[in-house]
Structure 1
């Protein structure tokens, strides 16, 4: 990726489109937002694949991501909590717990920050 400077930040042209990044939300996505988004969406994609392989009847997955930052250390991200709302039919908590373990183990973004950022993952089942 090649980032180019612009007013208030940087941008990169990618196959899907342009990504504007800035410390100021008026000029683009903030770096910490992209970091948290990477953790959430990587985990969500892996979880989705695992649930499909388990042949579970899942209609929807929604992810809420919250980040804890340390203002005393350059406002660094220290913890990210990902909460998955999994909507489906006849979902068993034990199977979803196993799927969550596999998700954390196989998500490249979560593994990349291991030891530097605590990633907590929880879920709830929404039965339809």
Structure 2
């Protein structure tokens, strides 16, 4: 079982702490009385998706012996207008740099990450349509998911 602690630090600021002691400050927007002292909770969800799929993609590519110099993940989300303002669409772009990165192996790693191993993706896709793309050294490839076999 996972367990975190979220503590109020005054005004609209909260700090989340995981079981190992890592901390993440969260704060509301100024319109809600926040003072820009932390990430917004909904943005943290997008970061969680990027981190979860990134860890899985990186791990799978390591097992495939695919080397890369850098991986940066951009996650954008559109929210519905009415409360609760959940994400309706999310788009994730994985930007790789390095030599001889085979796109077919990156796509296979992404398929395994998003369909099987990443809990955040599997949870969020029940609410939002998630799309993905891969950029390798400036060339972008749209990800077309295949049904898990």
If the length of structure 1 is used for normalisation, what is the TM-score?
Answer: 0.86
Please list every run of 5 or more consecutive structure 1 residues that lacks an aligned counterpart in the other structure: none
Q: 1:11 to 1:57 in 2, by over 3 A?
A: closer
Q: What are the equivalent positions in structure 2 for 1:88-127 lying under 5 Å apart? A: 88-105=98-115, 106-126=117-137
- The alignment's C-alpha RMSD in Å is 1.9
Deviation for aligned residue 1:3: 2.0
Deviation for aligned residue 1:16: 4.3
If the length of structure 2 is used for normalisation, what is the TM-score?
Answer: 0.75
User: Hey, what does 1:47 align to over in structure 2?
Assistant: 57
More helix by share: 1
Please list every run of 5 or more consecutive structure 2 residues that lacks an aligned counterpart in the other structure: 30-34, 139-149
User: Hey, what does 1:21 align to over in structure 2?
Assistant: 26
Deviation for aligned residue 1:119: 1.6
Deviation for aligned residue 1:71: 1.5
Report how many aligned residue pairs link the two structures: 127
User: Hey, what does 2:15 align to over in structure 1?
Assistant: 11
